[in-house]
Amino acid sequence: MAEEARGCAMWFTGVPASGNSTVAKVVEEKLRARDIKVENLDADEWRAKMSPDLKYTPADMDLNTKRLAYVGKLISRHGVCVIIAAVAPMQEFRDRARDWIENFVEVFVDCPTDVCKQRDPKGLYAKGDKGIVNDIPGVHVPYEAPKNPEVHLRTDKFTAEQAADQVISRLEELSYIPVTYGIMDDDEDVYSEEEEEKIKERLRGLGYL
């Protein structure tokens, strides 16, 4: 019988535009490609459908992260890999999730603010510069970077695909998902011609050829 995933909850945290949702989506795709049960609780979609009453006040962020952690706990204990892509700027929010969830993986999506401002896919930083918004974590309000995350990604140095591979490797190391091994193509060369000749020479010396 094939080894199955144990179930866990991965919390992707980082300042806006650091790549939380982007990397999380690639991780989701990689897990689905391996037939691993996965649920992605993307923060934007979650707020729109499950917490439309909440704003971005400290109290509302506290409540929103509680809701995400609680649902993550319920789903992950049934062998599902849960992805939570939410800034959760305060360490206490993420520590609470760790306390609630048995197999918790904190993924720090680390990217310099100036790079995030250049990306700015939602125009959030541009609004901040114009004074339209004043609650951007890491700019207007504190963002507490994880001290000891299970995974530390530098998305200014690696592509989303490479970052996702780092997450997958860590999940394997933690035994939350089965380890897979690459299979070589039939026409792929195993040894160079020089290496093959050395092997043959060795085999001849041993009397096998």
Length of the chain as a residue count: 209
**Alpha-helix residue ranges (DSSP H) falling in the chain:** 20-33, 43-50, 58-76, 91-100, 113-119, 124-129, 160-173, 193-205
Domains of the chain, each with CATH number or no CATH? 8-173 (3.40.50.300)
pTM of the model: 0.82
| Residue 103 to residue 25: CA distance in whole angstroms | 20
Answer for the pair 106, 149: CB distance below 8 angstroms, yes or no. Answer: yes
Q: Is 95 in a helix, a strand, or coil?
A: helix
Q: How do the pLDDT tens digits run along the chain, 209 residues long?
A: 346 778 999 999 999 999 999 999 999 999 999 999 999 998 888 888 888 888 888 888 899 999 999 999 999 999 999 999 999 999 999 999 999 999 999 999 999 999 999 999 999 999 999 999 988 999 999 999 999 999 999 999 999 999 999 999 999 999 999 987 654 455 555 557 776 776 677 667 666 56
| Residue 140 to residue 125: CA distance in whole angstroms | 10
Amino acid sitting at position 153: L
Nearest in space to 15 (alpha carbons), one of 171, 158, 155:
155
As given in the structure block, the two tokens for residue 104 are 């918790």
